[in-house]
Chain A
Amino acid sequence: MTLLEGRGLSKRFGGVTALDQVSFSVEEGTIVALIGPNGAGKTTLFNLVAGALKPDAGQILFAGEEITGLTANVTCRRGLARTFQVTRPFATMTCLENVAVAVVNSPRSRANGTWRLSAHECLKAVGLGDLAHIEARHLNVVQKKRLEIARALATRPKLLMLDEVLGGLNTQEIGQAVDFIRSLRDEHHLTVFWIEHVMGAIMQAAEKIIVLDQGRRLMEGSPEEVVKDSRVIQAYLGD
């Protein structure tokens, strides 16, 4: 079943077309990667889906309902959570409080128990359990990325949108992170929509890859199909 679907999405900034008639779908329970060279429009697409920006044209459907143009806080309550490429922690709040913000606003996680407990679980899940009472500004980049994931999880999403969470990790850590994201999908019945530059991780984890180039959808297919496609190779290597 399709969980997220975009139809003919376009977005312009001033004179520049960031996205041009992009359609795509993300099937429930899968890990779908979104790749493309710098400036291809990946983050813009995320911003449209998550409600941080409004599309100039096109429709977005989530769980069968139209969510085009809904604001970020509403899409979040519908079950869509995202992380930011450049992390945006609440710097003067502790890690626990950072996650608690997500918990108290989620219509799904409110029901079970006090928020502190649930927030703690999310922090533990990403390995920040020991840093719960540290202010977020003291974290390093990798820890901040983990905190973003913990916050996103704490909203109890149906769809988790990750924007380059592997930056700054070494090969071994990347392997662990991929396992972690897979386990999230399996244990929490999540769907993952994932922008990533680290191709190795994508090849391991994704069931489907969507390739953007210069604001257009270049192709969509399995990892094997994508690496063989001459257009993709050209987009990455040629000009």
Chain B
Amino acid sequence: MFALAGMNGLVIGAIYALAALGVSLVVGIMNVINFAHGELYILAGYFSYLFANAFGMNFALAMTLAVALVFLFGLLIEYTLIRPTYGNDMYSLILTFILSIVLQNAYLLIFGPYPNKPPNWVGGSTLILGSFYYGNQRLAALIAGSAVITLVFLVIKKTWFGRIIRATSQDREMAELNGVNTKRLNMLSFGLGCALAAAAGVILAPIFPVTPTAGVPVALTAFVVVVLGGMGSLWGCVIGGLIIGLVENFGAAYISTAYKQVFSFIILILVLLSRPSGLFGRREA
């Protein structure tokens, strides 16, 4: 049971890290929290379900298309809702919260309250360390999640675009003075943040089927991960995601399944009490 819980923790942790990266990227650059993050995660799940099950697309193609569509949707949200409120953090909180409820109710209307599940990529299971069998789909999710996270790090650490992102999240005014088009950068990073939520969604949907409100706990956990890791810190997301994933699963295995979510909330409280800027956060705002 210990090893199984640990393995589950790793898989979920990787996905939390992915979802949190999306939140953190947007916070770092725009100082905006997208409260509809979870609903975009779910939207990607629905898209991949729709394309693969109803249109009979290959699962990989369906996933790519789903992520791309959510990315475009993210650009649209930034353009129509976020951009006009820029500089007023409160309105972006309110707008994205309203958006999340609207999307939840729209999903309910379109897809109904029942869980929908895109097809598995692989079947069967593998014997891990000679001690227990573990579903191949979950292993594939872990690999895919890690691959996307690596890709994000490569882009941010190695490319020209990444340099601009880092510069802007450190000092926005300086970046503007040096000719960075922050409007376009905002739009792009918001879209990317949504795309990361989508990536998490399509990877996890075959394991945890999507329902209209299934995004709420995922988004909440992603927010906790961001606070735990430190707002705007990318490494913080990865480490924080893994910590929360493991804590939840060990907690569920040994203490209580029903209170799985509560553990991450307790961690949030502990972080706020002891080290409010998070593990990797800058001490000073």
Contact = CB atoms under 8 A, between A and B. Distances in A.
Q: Do A and B bind each other?
A: yes
Interface of A: 13-14, 53-54
Interface residues of B, number: 3
5 contacts: A13-B171, A14-B170, A14-B171, A53-B284, A54-B284
Contacts of B284: 53-54
Contacts of A14: 170-171
Contacts of B170: 14
A106 B110 CA distance: 58
Interface string B163-192: 000000011000000000000000000000
Contacts, number: 5
A39 to B, nearest CB: 10
B113 to A, nearest CB: 43
Interface string B272-285: 00000000000010
A53 B284 CA distance: 9
B170 to A, nearest CB: 5
Nearest to A13: B171
A182 B170 CA distance: 40
Task: List the 5 shortest-distance A-B pairs measured between CB atoms, nearest first.
Answer: A14-B170, A54-B284, A13-B171, A14-B171, A53-B284
Interface in B138-179: 170-171
Nearest to A54: B284
Interface in B169-217: 170-171
B14 to A, nearest CB: 30
Contacts of B171: 13-14
Nearest to B284: A54
A36 to B, nearest CB: 18
Nearest to A56: B284
Contacts of A54: 284
A13 B170 CA distance: 9
Most chain B CB inside 10 Å of its own CB: which residue of A13, A53, A54: A13
Nearest to A15: B170
Contacts of A13: 171
A188 B170 CA distance: 42
A234 to B, nearest CB: 24
A53 B170 CA distance: 16
Nearest to A14: B170
Nearest to B170: A14
Interface string B96-127: 00000000000000000000000000000000
A14 B171 CA distance: 9
Nearest to A53: B284
A4 B22 CA distance: 46
B56 to A, nearest CB: 52
B204 to A, nearest CB: 35
B276 to A, nearest CB: 15
A195 B171 CA distance: 23
B221 to A, nearest CB: 30
B38 to A, nearest CB: 32
Contacts of A53: 284
A54 B285 CA distance: 11
A78 B139 CA distance: 62
Interface in B218-253: none
B283 to A, nearest CB: 9
B206 to A, nearest CB: 42
A14 B170 CA distance: 8
A14 B232 CA distance: 14
A139 B170 CA distance: 32
A113 B277 CA distance: 44
Nearest to B282: A14
A13 B285 CA distance: 11
B90 to A, nearest CB: 13
A13 B171 CA distance: 9
Interface string B256-285: 000000000000000000000000000010
A134 to B, nearest CB: 22
A53 B283 CA distance: 12
A44 B68 CA distance: 44
A14 B175 CA distance: 14
A191 B204 CA distance: 64
A31 to B, nearest CB: 30
A14 B284 CA distance: 11
A176 B49 CA distance: 73
A211 to B, nearest CB: 24
B149 to A, nearest CB: 24
B163 to A, nearest CB: 14
B39 to A, nearest CB: 32
A47 to B, nearest CB: 12
